C-alpha cells in the first residue's frame, strides 16, 4: 500500500514537473527584447545605385529603398 502511494506521488510529481517546465519555457520564448535594435542594423539595397545602406538611414518610398534623397528623385 505504501509503495503504491509512493508510485502515485512520483507520477504526480513527474507530471507537475513536466507541465511546469513547459509553461516556464513558453514564457521565456515569448520574450523578444532585441527585435527593434536588430532591425535598425539591417542593410537594404538602394534600388537606384545598388548601394547598401543601414535601414535607419535609408529612405523607403513606394515599396523600394533608396540610399539618399538624390537617388529617390532620380527614380
8 or 49, CB closer to Zn ion?
49
Least distance between Zn ion and beta carbon 65 (Å): 9
15 or 49, CB closer to Zn ion?
49
Dihedral of the alpha carbons of 47, 48, 54, 56, in degrees to the nearest 10 = -80
Least distance between Zn ion and beta carbon 73 (Å): 11
Cα separation, 53 vs 70, in Å, equals 14
Gyration radius of the chain's alpha carbons = 27
Residues 42-61 that bind Zn ion (CB under 5 A): 46, 48-49, 51
Amino acid at each position: 500500500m505504501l509503495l503504491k502511494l509512493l508510485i502515485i506521488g512520483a507520477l504526480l510529481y513527474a507530471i507537475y514537473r513536466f507541465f511546469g517546465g513547459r509553461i516556464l519555457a513558453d514564457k521565456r520564448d515569448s520574450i523578444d527584447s532585441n527585435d527593434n535594435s536588430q532591425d535598425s542594423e539591417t542593410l537594404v539595397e538602394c534600388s537606384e545605385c545598388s548601394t547598401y545602406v543601414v535601414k535607419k538611414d535609408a529612405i523607403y518610398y513606394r515599396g523600394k529603398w533608396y540610399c539618399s534623397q538624390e537617388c529617390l528623385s532620380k527614380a
